[in-house]
Amino acid sequence: MSKNEMSLQNQGKQSAVQGMASSRQAQEVQAAMVVAKRFPRDEEQAMNKIINACTRQSLAEQATYEYPRGGTKVKGPSIRLAETMARSWGNLDYGIIELEQKNGSSEMMAYCWDLETNTRETRIFTVKHVRDTKYGKKELESARDIYEMTANMGARRMRACILGVIPKHVAEEAVDQAEKTLANKNGQSLEQRIEKMVNAFAELGVNQEMLEEKIGCKAAAFTQNDVLKLGRIYRSIEDEMAGVEDFFDFGPEEKSPYDQDEKEPEDDFAKDVEDTIKESEKNNA
């Protein structure tokens, strides 16, 4: 058998496999739509499930993202909350697909499909295999790094698709319940938690002005998410995963009293810790 004949035979096999996969996928979608029509969601029950989930402290702490922009703060439901709502709402098909990978980038698609109403939201986008770090751009080479980058970027688009399908009032009520759960944490008000956090950092040599510079607003304007962010930083310092100076600027000649007799962590290690915290915040966003 000649090389051309072998090549044609392989192409024929690949086409047959692709055809079978497409046919199977179409059958699965049809079956899912039939089941969704036969067993429609009970919206009241689904809403109760979502609200009940938001009473859990662990979910409430990750339920919203928040970041400063133009003197105000942009806020909305996080990826974790969107996924929880999608599971509880039911009869939704959602996910992320890599369509193509070439020339140092991946073409991705995120989608959410309401199988009952046949409402569909789709986002197609390109992810470059590059990570922005405090030391500049870093080319991603390992399969794991590329997967994590595309998955993180895809999750944000998938959240937008889910929120585009689920009614807006559902997300608003879920966020309200999550905020109530956080407000009742340990029976302390937000003002009390802010004061407690400021006092805790003061023992590390970090004053209130430094906290305000880190968050980007006055302490009186701190939100639940700001307190949670500072709490993660505080635990990292207390657990000696990083030093105070890795998060706060003491100036060229100054040094935190907390670190006077401590050996400073290696630069690469401190950078990894801070990048891990930032990556965690991005994932929840």
- Within this chain, do residues 203 and 151 fall inside the same structural domain, yes or no? no
Structural domain containing residue 156: 14-176
User: Domain ends where: 120, 144, 176?
Assistant: 176
pLDDT digits (tens, 9 = 90+) for 199-257: 999 998 899 999 988 888 888 888 888 888 888 888 778 777 778 888 887 765 454 54
Other CB atoms within 10 Å distance of the CB of residue 42: 11
pLDDT digits (tens, 9 = 90+) for 85-97: 999 999 999 999 9
In the block, tokens 């703060």 appear at 73
pLDDT digits (tens, 9 = 90+) for 98-144: 999 999 999 999 999 999 999 999 999 999 999 888 788 889 989 99
- Within this chain, do residues 30 and 147 fall inside the same structural domain, yes or no? yes
Q: Is 69 among the domain residues?
A: yes
- What domain count does the chain have? 2
**pLDDT (0 to 100) of residue 127:** 95
Q: Which residues are within 8 A (CB) of 230 and not within 5 positions of it... i.e. 6 or more apart?
A: 197, 201, 211, 214, 215
- Within this chain, do residues 157 and 229 fall inside the same structural domain, yes or no? no
- Within this chain, do residues 22 and 152 fall inside the same structural domain, yes or no? yes
Asked whether the beta carbons of 59 and 78 are under 8 A apart, the reply is no
Q: Taken in order 173, 177, 178, 183, is the CA torsion positive or negative?
A: positive
- Percentage, residues of the chain above pLDDT 90: 40
Per-residue tokens: 248: 């706060």
CA dist., res. 13 & res. 5, Å (int):
12
**pLDDT at 157 exceeding the cut of 90:** yes
pLDDT band at residue 269 using 50, 70 and 90 as cut-offs: very low
User: Domain ends where: 176, 210, 241?
Assistant: 176
User: Domain ends where: 154, 176, 198?
Assistant: 176
- Within this chain, do residues 76 and 35 fall inside the same structural domain, yes or no? yes
Mean pLDDT computed over every residue of the chain: 81
- Within this chain, do residues 65 and 140 fall inside the same structural domain, yes or no? yes
**pLDDT (0 to 100) of residue 264:** 42
